[in-house]
Chains A and B, each alone.
Chain A
Amino acid sequence: EAQVTQNPRYLITVTGKKLTVTCSQNMNHEYMSWYRQDPGLGLRQIYYSMNVEVTDKGDVPEGYKVSRKEKRNFPLILESPSPNQTSLYFCASSQRGMGNQPQHFGDGTRLSIL
């Protein structure tokens, strides 16, 4: 089954404790992306990747890191999480990154930073 898998689905942690949210897709997609969703703001893009070893900033990259060492995986790293990063996070992938392909979304990761 074609899918985007995020882990963990829920996480409560404390300020400053490094964490990684994993994302994996099984569709051989080139484009992968991370979004955060906050009430009233819709989805805002954090980082995206056009292919292996090619990443670029979205609209809200501050406080986040990503890497794309393999085509299927695109982890999101919070080196020193802060309470303002409490949010619902989504990973997505698409065949290409040209905007003319539908994006497939994971089920989300609800992150609470105390």
Chain B
Amino acid sequence: SQQGEEDPQALSIQEGENATMNCSYKTSINNLQWYRQNSGRGLVHLILIRSNEREKHSGRLRVTLDTSKKSSSLLITASRAADTASYFCATDANTGGFKTIFGAGTRLFVKA
């Protein structure tokens, strides 16, 4: 089952613009994480937000979490060509087990 679903599926912007990606999920969660994947490589952890947090920052990244709407957003400010990658949200499905559920991802292309 797909817990997290990212929106949009693909995003193309100019260098210097902001990029916003959204993630929706179905069941209650304890934590939500965002990961980045450069083409075909392993995923790299970006940021973790707990269910009792509403917003978190890390450098040019800003993540928000709205548990009432079961959604999260990742904002990358002042994007660079090097930000070109796929971005995934991942949740722990608070169902008694310890599964991790990833969304299908957003492909971001930043044009120089």
Contacts and interface: CB of A to CB of B under 8 A. Distances in A.
- Binding partners A and B: yes
Interface string A77-114: 00000000000101010000111101111111010000
Interface residues of B, number: 29
Interface string B79-93: 000000000101110
Interface of A is mostly: strand
Interface residues of A, number: 30
B9 to A, nearest CB: 8
Contact of B103 (A42, A99, A110): A42
Interface of B: 1-2, 4, 29-31, 33, 35, 40-45, 48, 50, 88, 90-92, 97-105
Which 4 A-B residue pairings sit nearest by Cβ, starting from the closest?
A99-B92, A105-B42, A102-B45, A42-B104
Interface of A: 4, 31, 33, 35, 40-45, 48, 50, 56, 58-59, 88, 90, 92, 97-100, 102-108, 110
